[in-house]
A and B are shown apart, each in its own frame.
Chain A
Amino acid sequence: MKKIVTFVATLSLALVAMTGCGKADSKTVSTDGSTSMEKVIGALGEAFEENNSGVTFTYNPTGSGSGITAVAEGRCDIGLSSRNLKEEEKAQGLTETVLALDGIAVIVNPDNPVNDLDLETISRIYRGEITNWQDIGGNNLEIVLIGREAGSGTRDGFESITDTEDACKYRQELTSTGDVITTVAGNPAAIGYASLASVKDTVKALSVGGIVPAEETVKDGSYVVQRPFVLVTKSGAELSATAQKFFDYITSSEAGEIISSAGAVPVNK
């Protein structure tokens, strides 16, 4: 009898506890969005937590579209997007602040003898007009096009820069940067694209039109395959004190060093 009463009481207490999780207190900064920004925003969040004890930073890697939706619905403080906002998104009352620039590296297998392609050639490869590496100075192998899924910020960025929107003849559409790198590293005929910050030694980043992808060439604009990292906030609505502090910190020049050590190119430096 007593046991049952206790059980019921515990159950109801547990239910109350579950409903108790409301909006987190003002000591937290929540960010949500682009998976490509993981390294940059992670490093910034860590540094911010170190400098401000008791503050919690959260980052939810969901993708640019989800991040923008999340900030519009008030589910996070700052949305992260690896593309500029579309007009319809700005019309929803969202503001963009460019945090940094990110080069998109065109990557091939290290065994591939090709080192340099111009934008036009890359575009023709992805359109399926050039189908064999032999035609552009490589081995006699059919080119395997690796890309990202529809809606990915990297894909969006890459296709708009190379003018191949809706025209790419992808062999594989993968859902993460890591998967693209793994696949290209495992196939000598593959070509793919990935955020410059996440390119590893297992693949070779091509120079584009003779310009090697690097921080300097991205910043001065000579490396043309690049896109912005954008902070998305609600126009008019005020951020919480902590979130505002975080926003000011990461857009300041002192955060620039952290951004560049994470592989992107800061705009405020």
Chain B
Amino acid sequence: MNKKQFMENAIHGIFLILGLITVGCVLLITVYLVISGIPAIRKIGVLNFLFGKKWASTAAQPQYGIFPFILTSIYGTAGAIVLGVPIGFMTAVYLAKIAPLKIKTVIETAVSLLAGIPSVVYGLVGMMVLVPGIRIVFHIPDGASLFAAIIVLAIMILPSIIKVSLTALEAVPKEYEDASLALGSTPIETYFRVSVPAAKSGIAAAVVLGVGRAIGEAMAIMMVAGNAPNMPKIFQSVRFLTTAVASEMSYAVDGSLQKQALFSIALVLFLFIMLINAVLNFFLKQSKE
């Protein structure tokens, strides 16, 4: 009996350790980012770093202003949400309420596949098809731009928006809809006046999840956005927070201010993502209540 008790405790211990590995990783990354991100911000100055408009890390007189990257990340993410959310949301409503089972299966499989495509493939297709396409359609000298990045991001966030909204919509009790239909409203009225409001916190969580995915993406947009550190304009070549870190990290000399500044960018990005996670948790909590 005692032995059994001991084994039971031992197993509990092992599970606890395995669980703590995750926590440990998060702590390690946080501490590491803060420690390596702070020195450059101190040297450059918080205001100069966050609101400086020029980034020239390898110039003879280096300048480390990441305001263009912050704005680009915000604009790019916002643009992806503006394009992606209506499409994703409507698809979810269609799948949850209207679509016949066969069509639903096909679309759901396609959405899952879309989620599984590696981001480098999105980037490659964007580079070969989207960028030249934008150049020709809009008669501009070069198609690699914020606009191209927004389109790629909008497509990339579709799966998370569709799946999470779909789950939320499917969880709406059928009685609500039945009651609405019984009172004489049409099915479409019911979906938008009853089902959607009932699932609204789940849908909000889907949007926040999309924001998180879009702001953290690097590879795909590195291939379509042009990466010049300009202030963002829709058809201008731009650099995001993520791509700013990724494109220079492999070349920055260890211990140089450039490398430290890259860690500082990562820290800023990390704070953004923490904020988004906090918002996500808030919505998820609301949907449970």
The residues of A with any CB-CB pair to B shorter than 8 Å are 1, 4, 8, 62-66, 68-69, 88-89, 141-144, 149-152, 165-166, 170-175, 179, 182-183, 186-187, 189-190
Which residue of chain A has the shortest Cβ distance to B61 in the bound complex?
A166
Q: Decide yes or no: A172 and B228 within 8 Å by CB, A165-B60, A166-B59 being known contacts.
A: yes
Residues of B within 8 A of A171 (CB): 141-142, 144, 226, 228, 237
Q: Decide yes or no: A151 and B7 within 8 Å by CB, A174-B227, A183-B127, A186-B132 being known contacts.
A: no
Q: Decide yes or no: A141 and B141 within 8 Å by CB, A63-B250, A166-B60, A186-B131 being known contacts.
A: yes
Q: Decide yes or no: A66 and B142 within 8 Å by CB, A172-B227, A183-B127 being known contacts.
A: no
**Closest Cβ–Cβ distance, residue A258 to chain B (whole Å):** 27
Q: Count of A-B contacts with CB under 8 A?
A: 93
Would you call B222 an interface residue if the criterion is a C-beta within 8 Å of the partner chain's C-beta atoms?
yes
Query: Which 5 pairs between the two chains have the least Cβ-Cβ distance?
Result: A151-B251, A166-B59, A172-B226, A65-B251, A142-B141
Q: List 29 A-B contacts (CB under 8 A).
A: A4-B10, A4-B11, A8-B14, A63-B251, A64-B251, A68-B253, A88-B253, A144-B141, A149-B227, A149-B248, A149-B251, A150-B248, A151-B251, A151-B252, A151-B258, A165-B60, A166-B59, A171-B142, A171-B144, A171-B228, A172-B142, A172-B144, A172-B227, A174-B223, A175-B246, A182-B128, A187-B132, A187-B141, A187-B142
Which residue of chain B has the shortest Cβ distance to A151 in the bound complex?
B251
Main secondary structure of the interface of A (DSSP, over half): mixed
Which residue of chain A has the shortest Cβ distance to B254 in the bound complex?
A69
Q: Tell me the count of chain B residues lying within 8 A, CB to CB, of chain A.
A: 34
Would you call B56 an interface residue if the criterion is a C-beta within 8 Å of the partner chain's C-beta atoms?
yes
Which residue of chain A has the shortest Cβ distance to B224 in the bound complex?
A172
Q: Decide yes or no: A151 and B226 within 8 Å by CB, A142-B141, A166-B56 being known contacts.
A: no
Asked whether, in the complex, the Cβ of A183 is within 8 Å of the Cβ of B144, the reply is yes
**Cα distance, A170 to B250, chains bound together (Å):** 20
Would you call B119 an interface residue if the criterion is a C-beta within 8 Å of the partner chain's C-beta atoms?
no
Asked whether, in the complex, the Cβ of B222 is within 8 Å of the Cβ of A175, the reply is yes
Residues of A within 8 A of B57 (CB): 150
Give 6 new A-B contacts, CB below 8 A, not counting A65-B250, A173-B239.
Answer: A62-B250, A151-B248, A166-B58, A172-B228, A175-B247, A179-B127
Which residue of chain B has the shortest Cβ distance to A68 in the bound complex?
B253
Asked whether, in the complex, the Cβ of A150 is within 8 Å of the Cβ of B58, the reply is yes
**Closest Cβ–Cβ distance, residue A51 to chain B (whole Å):** 32
Would you call B200 an interface residue if the criterion is a C-beta within 8 Å of the partner chain's C-beta atoms?
no
**Closest Cβ–Cβ distance, residue A168 to chain B (whole Å):** 10
Residues of B within 8 A of A170 (CB): 228, 237
Residues of B within 8 A of A1 (CB): 7
Which residue of chain B has the shortest Cβ distance to A182 in the bound complex?
B127
